[in-house]
Amino acid sequence: MKVLVIYTDINVRGGALSYQFGIGQLSAVLKKHGHEVRLHHMFGQYDVEPLRVALADYAPDVVAFSIVYPQYRFVRQILRELSPWKAFTVAGGAHPTVFPACLEEIPELNAICIGEGEYPLLELVEALRDGRPVDSIPSLWVRTPGGSIVRNETRPFIANLDELPPMDREICDYQAIIDSDFKTATFQFGRGCPFDCTYCSNHIICRRQKGPYVRFRSVDLCLEEIRQVTTRYRVGNLYLNDDTFMVKKSWFEEFCDKYPRQFSLPILVNARPEQINEEVCQRLAQAHCTRVTMGIEHGNEKYRAEVLRRRMTNESIVKAFKLCRDYGFKTKSHNLVGLPDETPELHQDTVRLNAEIYPDSFNLHIFEPYPGTHLGDRCEQEGLIDPRRRDLVFVGQTDTILKMPQFTRSQILRCFRRFPYEVYKKHSLVKAIPYLIYYSRYGEKIIRMIQPIKRFIRKFAMGV
């Protein structure tokens, strides 16, 4: 059977390519069982014509979409624009899992997958191959020929990730992805997150299937994957993209012990501030860590705990960033602006905290209300979503669709654009000014124009 996987990356910030772990794993499972898989990556601007050509050339039996909420509108447009479909159409990913009602909104979709998709998709493809019914496959919601929807129960989470084959990186131009992000190869060794942040989909996804949600592959298999990637591709850094890299202490310690015995490439990791201590930093240093990224999200301790459910103190955040600097790690902070109940004055707490910790780099995103999440549903219920802006197309997380009298759109955009200057102005104008340009109204156009010298600018401004 021939499967075409479509992933849209429309209007993403910065212009960097990305590797989709879920698609890589799905493809690996299908190929292991003798099926043919191709990827159509719609990157940059929306243009359906190359996809139309790919469909005619490949003639797939199944077309599978992987959807995150910001890209949902584009997938919906593709399905309608290219209808009628000769292939069986199915969608999976975070958005259908968190908001399965999307199947009712798109009549051109034959099915959606709720939760982990490796085995449901495999079972679907093989049932179609053999001419068997597909409306009783666990984890699939299937539209019948009569138009009704069969909502099957989900199967348990995959308990042993080691049973999955290595991710398929040949499905895309993986070297181009590495090159687009400063020679960085990305890895994801685990699944799931134990935290319940209200703006994130994890607190919903963890309830969609039974069994342990947070799982890791064995360290030895992770190291073997690193070996395969670094042997095949030209790599300068490894970004271990797990949000929960340090959650399982025994796994983390084993990785940090074994990695430097086999590899010398620097690693970049994610952490939560409350996970950082002397012992952790010592182990990270042993494992050639050069950068730690931590989510702050908001600088007001009370707001952060009550609205976002991120229960950490500002003191622990300041201490974590200082400790990382003491060990020679670069630091990066993640932040949000334009949240429900936020005001311009509250946002200044985020500015002040970042100015105090002085990260080497940062991300600031304008909040997006994901349907199905706690904070997304609250925005819907309280009428905070501006119906005139709901379906507007803009570069992701650089504008707001909320209508809040205490924090207007113009105020949110001003806070977003002024953030880097306010954070760095007392420390370094060398950092403040390039960031100010990037976060300006014309930042995206400028960044795309200077792609050939982007590496130099990044090193000059951020030291990475």
Query: Residue 250, class by beta-carbon neighbours within 10 Å (0-12 exposed, 13-18 middle, 19+ buried)?
Result: exposed
Spatial separation of the C-alpha atoms in residues 291 and 284, rounded to whole Å: 10
Residue range 273-319, pLDDT digits in tens: 999 999 999 999 999 999 999 999 999 999 999 999 999 999 999 99
User: What number is the average pLDDT over the span 11-36?
Assistant: 91
What element of type H or E holds 40?
strand 36-44
pLDDT score recorded for residue 463: 52
Spatial separation of the C-alpha atoms in residues 203 and 278, rounded to whole Å: 30
Q: With CA atoms as reference, report the closest residue to 289 among 259, 266, 271.
A: 266
φ/ψ of 125, rounded to 5, equals -60, -40
Radius of gyration, CA atoms only, the chain = 22
C-alpha separations of 401 from 370, 388, 439 in Å: 11, 8, 18
User: What number is the average pLDDT over the span 25-35?
Assistant: 98
pLDDT score recorded for residue 246: 95
Strands 215-216, 2-10: pairing is: unpaired
pLDDT score recorded for residue 430: 84
- Give the pLDDT band of residue 375 (cuts 50, 70, 90): very high
- Give the pLDDT band of residue 38 (cuts 50, 70, 90): very high
C-beta separation of 113 from 139 below 8 A = yes
Total residue count of the chain as it appears in this document = 464
Residue 402 is classified by DSSP as B
Share of the chain above pLDDT 90, in %: 85
- Give the pLDDT band of residue 134 (cuts 50, 70, 90): very high
- Give the pLDDT band of residue 14 (cuts 50, 70, 90): low
User: What number is the average pLDDT over the span 68-77?
Assistant: 94
- Give the pLDDT band of residue 395 (cuts 50, 70, 90): confident
Residue range 54-63, pLDDT digits in tens: 999 999 999 9
Q: Is the pLDDT of residue 94 over 60?
A: yes
- Cα angle value 190/176/13 (rounded, 5°): 75
Q: Is the pLDDT of residue 193 over 70?
A: yes
Spatial separation of the C-alpha atoms in residues 268 and 182, rounded to whole Å: 12
The single residue listed with the structure tokens 């053999």 is: 130
Q: Is the pLDDT of residue 454 over 70?
A: no
Q: With CA atoms as reference, report the closest residue to 75 among 27, 4, 7, 147.
A: 7
pTM to 2 decimals? 0.93
Residue 385 is classified by DSSP as B
C-beta separation of 204 from 153 below 8 A = no
pLDDT score recorded for residue 464: 52
Residues 6+ positions from 442 with CB-CB distance below 8 Å: none
pLDDT score recorded for residue 15: 62
How many other CB atoms sit within 10 Å of the CB of residue 422? 18
Q: Is the pLDDT of residue 462 over 60?
A: no
- Give the pLDDT band of residue 80 (cuts 50, 70, 90): very high
Higher pLDDT, residue 16 or 323: 323
C-alpha separations of 422 from 317, 347, 460 in Å: 19, 12, 19
Higher pLDDT, residue 396 or 335: 335
Q: With CA atoms as reference, report the closest residue to 252 among 266, 263, 242, 262.
A: 242
φ/ψ of 60, rounded to 5, equals -70, 155
